[in-house]
Amino acid sequence: MHTEIAAIKKNDFSFYDIQKIRNDFPILKTLVHDKPLVYLDNAATTQKPQYVIDKMNYYYENYNSNVHRGVHALSQKATEAFEGARIIIKNFINALGKNEIIFTRGTTESINLVASTYGRANIKEGDEIIISTMEHHSNIVPWQMLCTEKNAKLRVIPINDNGEIIFEEFEKMINEKTKFVSIVYASNTLGTINPVKEIINLAHNYNIPVLLDAAQAINHLKIDVQQLDCDFLAFSGHKLYGPTGIGILYGKVNFLEAMHPYQGGGDMISKVTFEETTYNELPHKFEAGTPDIAGAIGLGAAIEYIEKIGLENIAHHENLLLDYATKAVSDLQGLKIIGTAKDKIGVLSFHFENVHPHDVGTFLDFEGVAIRTGHHCTQPLMRRFNIPATSRASFGMYNTIEEVDVLVHGLKKILEVFG
Ligand code: PMP
């Protein structure tokens, strides 16, 4: 085991200038309890590079103005930057057109939009919607609310003890009553990367649309929506080294065209009288009110930054960290890794036999290490593993092997104190 760890340490990291990357993130110089911050809570939210912060500040300092409505110079510049961000995002996920990219507040709002519009119009009594055991609450509750309203049924694909979807169960579950499939691409709690292409192919054999919750996949896997052929895709800017408060719903144009607006108000209309309203064209039909202009600009900047480093390089680096950390904690007494799928993103969830996750998190905080403890908004998944919570370290592009060492050292100390 230790030779394996040493081998990873010796691995050629030359594809990646980690120090330069770390210097781009001002927050990484922060001290916590007089110790250097070791930020391992990237699945909750990622830190922001100076480039993103500067782009947003520049907007506020130099051309802050509302979009789409003004003929004056600042408004035109703001509109250009806002719509420019949409094109960056369209290219990033290889959507067919920029009218398929809807700005929302995040993954949660994107899923709620689809459930409230497509779902309300198409789900009827007795219909079935399929999700999986490892969904985040934001990919459970909107569908549950819809099912309650329509007297429809929510069906859940079971997982095995490694935290992988049991595909044969999905095959058995899907039938002519199934009207929608909504699946997480990569689990925030287990790290599992799901076989989404196979899921989409099977659902499409039955003509069933599929939504992918890509909140955790978007910063690790190259996503090509045309190649995947997903019908909807949701993600958040803040997990992608961009700002909070902005996210994306991608939808195939034929679905979006047919869907009713989500909210009414300014910008989503083309003509309003007191008798009736005609709606604006896509994507504006789904963007009522003043959008998060700085957020969109920040998200566009985050993608530019990621592309400069290369998503594949980032994923390779995070995989090395995960591999190293997994091996390093496997020796710790009473520690059980929750989520041992073959294909994983950089998420390491674990549970100590005799130490409550909350104590683990608090102890590590005093070492400067930020991890997350709790149910990670996946309570049904906790129930599946028969545990109340896990401790979760999640890796980002700026984390180092030395930081993993600090984490493991902290865990060893915890065992000394609590063991
Ligand atoms: N789905 C997954 C898999 C997530 O990890 C998260 C965030 N933890 C969400 C959905 C919700 O994202 P947001 O809170 O940004 O809307």
* Ligand 1 neighbourhood includes 252 CB (under 6 angstroms): no
* Ligand 1 neighbourhood includes 106 CB (under 6 angstroms): yes
How far is the centre of ligand 1, averaged over its atoms, from the C-alpha of 138 (Å)? 7
CA 232 to chain centre: 14
Q: Do 174 and 268 sit in the same domain of this protein?
A: yes
Amino acid in the structure at residue 359: D
**Among 278, 307, 336, where does a domain finish?**
307
C-alpha Rg value of the chain to the nearest Å: 22
Rounded distance between C-alpha atoms, residue 72 and residue 250, angstroms: 31
Rounded distance between C-alpha atoms, residue 322 and residue 396, angstroms: 10
**Among 279, 307, 335, where does a domain finish?**
307
Cβ–Cβ < 8 Å for 185, 211: no
Catalytic residues: 377
How far is the centre of ligand 1, averaged over its atoms, from the C-alpha of 235 (Å)? 8
| Overall size of the chain counted in residues | 419
Please give the pLDDT value at position 87: 98
Cβ–Cβ < 8 Å for 307, 52: no
Q: Which tokens hold the place of 87?
A: 């094109």
* Ligand 1 neighbourhood includes 116 CB (under 6 angstroms): no
Rounded distance between C-alpha atoms, residue 52 and residue 370, angstroms: 22
* Cβ-based neighbour number of residue 15 at 10 Å: 11
Angstrom distances, CA of residue 317 to CA of 74, 92, 118, 244, 276: 41, 20, 39, 24, 55
Please give the pLDDT value at position 16: 86
How many structural domains is the chain composed of?
A: 2
CA 59 to chain centre: 26
Those residues whose C-beta lies under 8 Å from the C-beta of residue 173, and which sit 6 or more positions away, are 130, 155, 157
Q: Do 355 and 296 sit in the same domain of this protein?
A: no
Q: Assign 131 to helix, strand or coil.
A: strand
Those residues whose C-beta lies under 8 Å from the C-beta of residue 40, and which sit 6 or more positions away, are 369, 370, 371, 393, 394, 395, 399, 403, 407
Q: Is 9 exposed, middle or buried (0-12, 13-18, 19+ CB in 10 A)?
A: middle
CATH of the domain at 396: 3.90.1150.10
**Among 255, 278, 307, where does a domain finish?**
307
How far is the centre of ligand 1, averaged over its atoms, from the C-alpha of 372 (Å)? 14
Q: Which of 41, 45, 104, 108 to mutate to test the pocket of ligand 1 (most atoms within 8 A of CB)?
A: 108
Residue 239 belongs to some domain of the structure: yes
* Ligand 1 neighbourhood includes 107 CB (under 6 angstroms): yes
Those residues whose C-beta lies under 8 Å from the C-beta of residue 244, and which sit 6 or more positions away, are 45, 106, 236, 237, 238, 295
Please give the pLDDT value at position 419: 73
Q: Do 13 and 138 sit in the same domain of this protein?
A: no
Amino acid in the structure at residue 314: I
Predicted TM-score (pTM) of the model is 0.97
Residue 265 belongs to some domain of the structure: yes
Q: Assign 137 to helix, strand or coil.
A: helix
Q: Do 147 and 293 sit in the same domain of this protein?
A: yes
Mean pLDDT by 10 residues, the chain (419 residues): 62 80 98 98 98 98 94 96 98 98 98 98 98 98 98 98 98 98 98 98 98 98 98 98 98 98 96 97 98 98 97 96 97 96 98 93 98 97 97 98 98 92
Q: Which tokens hold the place of 219?
A: 């910063």
**Residue identifier of the C-alpha nearest atom 6 of ligand 1:** 215
How far is the centre of ligand 1, averaged over its atoms, from the C-alpha of 215 (Å)? 5
Ligand 1 atom having least distance to the Cα of 187: 3
Please give the pLDDT value at position 363: 97
**Residue identifier of the C-alpha nearest atom 5 of ligand 1:** 188
Cβ–Cβ < 8 Å for 395, 219: no
Q: Do 176 and 36 sit in the same domain of this protein?
A: no
Please give the pLDDT value at position 112: 98
Q: Do 58 and 101 sit in the same domain of this protein?
A: yes
Q: Do 299 and 399 sit in the same domain of this protein?
A: no
Rounded distance between C-alpha atoms, residue 150 and residue 123, angstroms: 7
Q: Do 84 and 211 sit in the same domain of this protein?
A: yes
Cβ–Cβ < 8 Å for 234, 249: yes
What residues make up the domain containing 326? 3-41+310-414
Q: Do 210 and 266 sit in the same domain of this protein?
A: yes
Q: Do 165 and 250 sit in the same domain of this protein?
A: yes
* Ligand 1 neighbourhood includes 391 CB (under 6 angstroms): no
